[in-house]
Amino acid sequence: MNSVDLSVQLGTLRLPNPLVAASGCFGYGLEYADVVDLSTLGGIAVKGLFLDERQGHPPQRIVETPSGMLNAIGLQGIGVHRFIDDQLPALREYKVNIFVNICGSTIDEYAELARILSDTEGVAALELNISCPNIKEGGITFGCNLNGTYDVVAAVRKVTKLPVIPKLTPNVTDIASFARAAEEAGADGVSLINTFLAMAIDVETRRPKLSNVVGGLSGPAIRPIAIRMVHQCRQAVKIPIMGMGGIASADDVVEFMIAGADAVQIGTANFVDPFIWSKLLKGLTEYLRRHGHVSVRDIVNSVDLSEGQTKTDQTWTSS
Amino acid sequence: MPIDVDAVVLSNNRLSPNYNVVAIAAPEIATQAQPGQFVMIKQTLDSEPLLRRPFSIFEILRDKDGEAKGLSLLNKPVGTVTQRLFEIEAGERLQCLGPLGQPFSIVSFPEAAWMVAGGVGLAPFLTLAETLREQKVETTLFYGGRSTVDLVYLESFKRLDVSLVLATEDGSRGETGLVTLPLARELQSVSTDQPLSLYACGPTPMMQVVAKLAHTHGRSSEVSLEPVMGCGLGGCYSCVVPLHSQSNNLSPQLVRSCREGPVFGGDQVVWAELI
From A34, A69, A248, residue closest to B2, measured CB to CB:
A34
pTM over 0.90? The answer is yes
Residue A152 maps to a domain: yes
Q: Are B50 and A272 in contact (CB under 8 A)?
A: yes
Strand ranges inside chain A, DSSP E: 8-10, 13-15, 19-21, 43-45, 62-65, 68-71, 98-102, 125-129, 164-167, 190-192, 196-199, 201-202, 207-208, 214-218, 241-243, 263-266
Decide: residue A293, CB within 10 A, 0-12 exposed, 13-18 middle, 19+ buried. middle
Number of domains in chain A: 1
Number of domains in chain B: 3
CATH of residue B250's domain is: 2.10.240
Q: Shortest Cα distance from B73 to chain A (angstroms)?
A: 19
Residues B96 and B193 in one domain: no
b/e for A75-94, b at 16 or more Cβ within 10 A?
Answer: bbbbebeebbeebbeebeeb
Q: For strand A98-102 and strand A125-129, is the pairing parallel, antiparallel, or unpaired? A: parallel
Residues B142 and B246 in one domain: no
The residue range of the domain holding A37 is: 8-57+73-196+216-303
Domain end point (choices B224, B248, B266): B224
Could you give the 3-state DSSP secondary structure of residue A286?
helix
Interchain pair A268, B50: CB under 8 A? yes
Interchain pair A67, B251: CB under 8 A? no
**Given this model, what pLDDT does residue B205 score?**
96
Residues B66 and B174 in one domain: no
Residues B53 and B9 in one domain: yes
Residues of A in contact with B3 (CB under 8 A): 35
Interchain pair A59, B45: CB under 8 A? no
The residue range of the domain holding B237 is: 227-275
Which chain B residues in 72-101 lie under 8 Å from chain A, judged by CB atoms?
A: 95, 97
Interchain pair B237, A61: CB under 8 A? yes
Any CB–CB contact under 8 A between B272 and chain A? no
**What proportions of chain A, in percent to the nearest 5, are helix, strand and coil?**
35, 20, 45
Q: Quick one: pLDDT band at residue A137, thresholds 50, 70, 90?
A: low
Residue A68 maps to a domain: no
Closest-CA residue in chain A for B255? A55
Which chain B residues in 145-164 lie under 8 Å from chain A, judged by CB atoms?
A: none
Question: What value does the mean pLDDT of chain A take?
Answer: 93
**Given this model, what pLDDT does residue B246 score?**
74
Interchain pair A59, B227: CB under 8 A? yes
Residues B138 and B177 in one domain: yes
The one catalytic residue in A25, A103, A132, A233 is A132
Number of H helices, E strands in chain A: 11, 16
Residues B92 and B110 in one domain: no
**Average pLDDT of the segment spanning A140-159:** 93
Q: Quick one: pLDDT band at residue A318, thresholds 50, 70, 90?
A: very low
**Given this model, what pLDDT does residue B228 score?**
93
Give the closest residue to A1 by CA, choosing from A254, A284, A292, A299: A292
Any CB–CB contact under 8 A between B234 and chain A? yes
Q: Among this protein's residues, is A132 annotated catalytic? A: yes
CATH of residue A271's domain is: 3.20.20.70
The ipTM value here is 0.91
From B50, B228, B259, residue closest to A31, measured CB to CB:
B259
**Given this model, what pLDDT does residue A319 score?**
41
Q: In chain B, which stretches have pLDDT less than 70?
A: 247-250
Residues B46 and B30 in one domain: yes
Domain end point (choices B55, B85, B100): B100
Residue A169 maps to a domain: yes
Residues of A in contact with B242 (CB under 8 A): 58
Interchain pair B230, A62: CB under 8 A? yes
